[in-house]
Amino acid sequence: MRLISRTWLVLAAAVCFCAGTVRAESEQAVDCPKCHGKGIALEIECPSCIHSPKPGYNNMGERLEMCQRCKGTAKIIGAYCSMCTKGKVYLSQFKPCDGGTKPPPSGWLWCPKCMGSGVESWIPCNQCKRSKWPGYTQMGEGLMLCNRCNGKGQLPGLACTTCEGKGTVVDKTPKEHK
Mean pLDDT of 135-152: 82
Q: Tell me the pLDDT tens digit for each residue of 89-131.
A: 888 888 888 878 888 888 899 999 998 989 999 999 999 888 8
Distance CA 19, CA 132 (A): 32
Residue spans per domain, the chain? 30-89
Q: Is 137 exposed, middle or buried (0-12, 13-18, 19+ CB in 10 A)?
A: middle
Q: Tell me the pLDDT tens digit for each residue of 55-94.
A: 889 888 888 899 888 888 988 888 788 788 778 888 888 8
Distance CA 124, CA 135 (A): 10
pLDDT in the model for residue 82: 77
pLDDT in the model for residue 139: 77
Q: Tell me the pLDDT tens digit for each residue of 2-24.
A: 333 333 333 333 334 344 455 66
Q: Are 114 and 161 in contact (CB under 8 A)?
A: no
pLDDT in the model for residue 50: 81
What residues are paired with 168 via a beta bridge? 110
- Torsion angle of alpha carbons 90, 96, 98, 101, nearest 10°? 0
User: Hey, what amino acid is at 120?
Assistant: E
* Stated pTM of the model: 0.58
Q: Which residues contact 41 (CB under 8 A, 6 or more apart)?
A: 34, 35, 78, 79, 80, 81, 82, 151
Q: Are 37 and 94 in contact (CB under 8 A)?
A: no
Distance CA 20, CA 9 (A): 18
> Closest Cα to residue 142, out of 39, 69, 56, 54?
69
pLDDT in the model for residue 23: 60
